[in-house]
Amino acid sequence: MKKVTTPLTALPPTGMGAVDKAWDAVSVSFDRFCLTAGIEALGTMMEQDAEQACGARHARSDGRRGHRWGRTQGKIGFHAGKVAVERPRVRDLEGHELALPSWERAVAEDWLGKWAMNLMLINVSTRKFRRAVRLPEGDVPAPAGAGVSKSAASRHFVALSAARMKEWMGADLSGLDIMVVQIDGIHISEHLVLVAALGIDSEGFKHPLGLMEGATEHSAVVQALIDDLIERGLDPAVPRLFIIDGSKALSKAIRRSFGCHTPIQRCQIHKARNIMERLSPALHASVRRALRQAWELDDAAKAEKLIRNLAQRLERDAPGVSKSILEGLDEILTVSRLGLPAELRRSLACTNIIENMMGTVRRVTRNVKRWSSPSMALRWTAAAMHEAKKGFRRLKAFRQLPALRAALAAHYEKETNNHAVAQKAKAA
């Protein structure tokens, strides 16, 4: 009969010095044990770095790069605040300070800053930061300068979010095969609007592309965002589909930069919602049914005819709404005119993807009571957009994206030929 043995958990033997002292602390607090063991391990690593630079103590070495220069106190951050650590000092043969690699890596990790940013992105206020990282009944003290106060948590978030936003806003986009771009704005305050862009690549993955601030969702703001994207590598000559919520400022800026024949799809959900808000409840069911039938038709000509018939029926009961239905009709049926498959058409006929990201921005920023500057709004929104990216899923119809590429190529070729014919006719 096979004998089954279960290995026992290995405990540190007695007489191990620093590790033995750290293990003794586990009886008081496991948190203190982990902290003590980590500090002792870091101290050992720094002593090894000092020995590599200076050689063994009290020994002469021809290959040494420096000599010991006493010890000093420093602070490093971990998830529950800053702690004081004693470290050796080393100077080179010319008297300049030599950095210890293990200490530099420990300081560069900035666990406290990352922890603060993560907690603020999940709506933990700065006032509760100390309680979130240290248990009230815990045995690790939080003295002055531990970096867990309200103002310290705010400074951590400002520094890290600003650094990440700068890196993201300067990232090269030329390596992304972006096929679809969605642009939308979010009102931060009465006089501050942020316009964001999100891209979908040829594999169906979603990427936050850029962000720009302005007083209103004006074409100049959108133009500034598009110019920034082009400068960072978004080639305007590549065929793409743009999806917007219906703002004329967005269409104007897109066509100015990417060409007057660039396919633009207006959000069908926004269009239907705007129509319903102006109709009496008695007409909602029939109008919604007619619009849904038009959106689902494969033939763009039949869909357009159906919508025009709907507008004609509403001329007597709601003449203003009748005109609104026909407004922007060309852009409403762009995905149908491109001949896309039904599943892909449903995914690209609305701005749900970027709206979902904007919902995350609103959730993340709900604790902010006062926006002190546009730069603050940019930092928070950029951090929230990357928080939303963590939950992005692949486009449901990603396998049908080759059909979109072929449709865009055919559309651009057709429009280019038509433009050339028109120019020849004009010249003649």
Q: Dump pLDDT digits (tens) for 313-352.
A: 888 878 888 888 888 888 999 999 999 999 999 999 999 9
**C-alpha to C-alpha distance for 258 and 387, rounded to whole angstroms:** 30
Phi and psi at 207, nearest 5°, equal: -135, 125
- How high is the pLDDT of residue 384? 92
Q: Which residues of the chain fall short of a pLDDT of 70? A: 1-35, 61, 78-80, 134-147, 215-217, 419-428
Q: What is the per-residue pLDDT for 395?
A: 94
* Residue keyed to tokens 């867990």: 148
Taking alpha carbons only, the member of 381, 14, 426 closest to residue 213 is 381
CA distance 425 to 14: 96
Look at strands 192-201 and 241-244 and give their pairing. Answer: unpaired
CA-to-CA distance for 199 and 207, rounded, in angstroms?
Answer: 5
The whole-number pLDDT of residue 142 equals 58
Per-residue CA distances from 385 to 20, 206, 222, 326, 351 (Å): 46, 11, 18, 34, 15
Predicted confidence at residue 4, as pLDDT, reads: 46
Burial 372-410 (b: 16+ CB within 10 A, else e): eebebbbbbbbbbbbbbeeebeebebbebbebbeebbee
CA–CA gap between residue 187 and residue 331 (Å, rounded): 24
CA distances 194 to 187, 234, 268, Å, are: 7, 20, 22
Over residues 31-62, the pLDDT tens digits come to 666 667 777 787 788 888 888 888 887 777 67
- Please give the pLDDT value at position 385: 94
